[in-house]
Structure 1
């Protein structure tokens, strides 16, 4: 079994959040979802667990921050090309998210944007040239 990552996000309205993530291409895994949490599949290795605020509090004694006003993490995901970066960002806006809470980045060899989900969690879809990655840091600094 390959290594997996589970990103746990507290959400105010589980149904709204499930609809948002489905609209941007995630798939809900009913086997690991109920009225308190939903498992949203991005890939075989990456899942986002949407947890109601009450359920979230079972996992940590730390204060839950308001992602609409505070940022604790930026979730960066790769896309196959620039158009896919724009497409997921546009889908996020159409589904009730906010476009570009962080500045867009275009370095030639790398392109990225951002969107916030309805709760304010920030995602950064990005594309990076395979050729620039293969050539290494020197090529990237020359391209930027």
Structure 2
């Protein structure tokens, strides 16, 4: 077996850290205060998955490349797996109530059924006010 990582930290640039924290708190996520300062915060997704929200100027210290304009291009697609359709609906509704917008045209949910697979997936897409795009898979 290849490399086995114990945790994942996804680093994403944000224009307004406070607005990002406010939005994702309303959606239901928590933050690790020990890994939070004026430049970054650590959003806890699970015991082994974290999203580091970095102010753009701080994010730029990690790369020489430009940060893409997320209104015109995609820098990442994040998919979160949850346990039930009801949990998908709850997260989407909280995101929309907190100011998020659906970003797949006017679709909030797309049901995908693989023809030869017993698995069924519900995928929901939303974009936070800080332009982070999230797709959730059930």
Does the aligned pair in 1 maintain the 2:127–2:134 contact within 8 Å? yes
Which piece of structure 1 moves more, 65-74 or 3-12? 65-74
Aligned to 1:31: 34
Stretches of 4+ moved more than 4 A in 1?
Answer: none
Secondary structure of 1:114's counterpart equals strand
Are 1:53 and 2:56 an aligned pair?
Answer: yes
More helix by share: 1
CA contact (8 A) 1:25 1:42 kept: no
The answer for the alignment partner of 2:12 in structure 1 is 9
Q: Distance in 2 between matches of 1:105 and 1:71?
A: 19
Larger relative contact order (Cα-Cα within 8 Å, sequence gap ≥ 6): 2
**TM-score between the two structures when normalised by the length of structure 2:** 0.85
Unpaired runs of 5+ residues, structure 2, are: 114-119
Q: How many residues align?
A: 126
TM-score (norm 1): 0.81
- The two structures, once aligned, show a CA RMSD in angstroms of 1.6
